[in-house]
Amino acid sequence: MRSCIACRLRAPRASLIRLVCDPEGTVVVDRFLKAPGRGAHLCYDAECIRVAAQRKAYGRAFKRAVAPVDPERLIADVVAAIEARVRDRLAIGRRAGWTRSGMDVLGRERARLALFVLAEDAAPATAARIASWGDPERCPVIVFGNRAWLGATQGQAERVAVGVIDADEAARLRTEFERRDRVLVAT
């Protein structure tokens, strides 16, 4: 269990943002939760990031002088870390065989899918078709990234949507999307 340095909420380590301080005193996001040295933890909430900066909680948490923390830069870094984890999970899914892409394949396997990731720049008719295949409870449709970004995760030039078959991996991805939404909601 760890505590948020802003609101003091106690939560499991994996459910909080971990920050570390580099040798120059700059606070950075520990994307993999494995960087060496003393860490500080925050909720996935833009308000906690801002409150910690106002209260100068970063210096106290690291027990050393730190460079002034720009909360907006830190929020952007947290969002970038979340998006990188999503990209990595989808790329791993292609190699592990638990993602599917291509409209024909998605159409054939839609009963097996636990999550759709739809490109933001998908054509309206395609987006409507994918939305009709999804189910908010069993197989939600999440709009994220563009066609080139989704394609890169699947080793293709472009993809309009990616489907996730593995229910556990779909749950992990949904958690990442929810974290991103919580961080961005107040910005």
pLDDT digits (tens, 9 = 90+) for 28-49: 999 999 999 999 999 999 999 9
What does the pLDDT read at residue 84? 97
What does the pLDDT read at residue 185? 82
What does the pLDDT read at residue 1? 94
Per domain, the residue ranges of the chain are 2-69, 82-184
Residue of 7, 8, 30, 34 lying closest to 20 (CA atoms): 30
Sort 126 into a burial class: Cβ within 10 Å, 0-12 / 13-18 / 19+. middle
CATH topology of domain 2-69: Hypothetical Cytosolic Protein; Chain: A; (3.30.1230)
Residue spans of the chain under pLDDT 50: none
What does the pLDDT read at residue 150? 97
CATH topology of domain 82-184: 60s Ribosomal Protein L30; Chain: A; (3.30.1330)
What does the pLDDT read at residue 186? 57
Residue of 120, 147, 115 lying closest to 134 (CA atoms): 115
Q: What's the pLDDT tens digit per position in 96-112?
A: 999 999 999 999 999 99
Q: Report in angstroms the alpha-carbon separations of 131 from 43, 105, 153, 172.
A: 31, 16, 21, 21
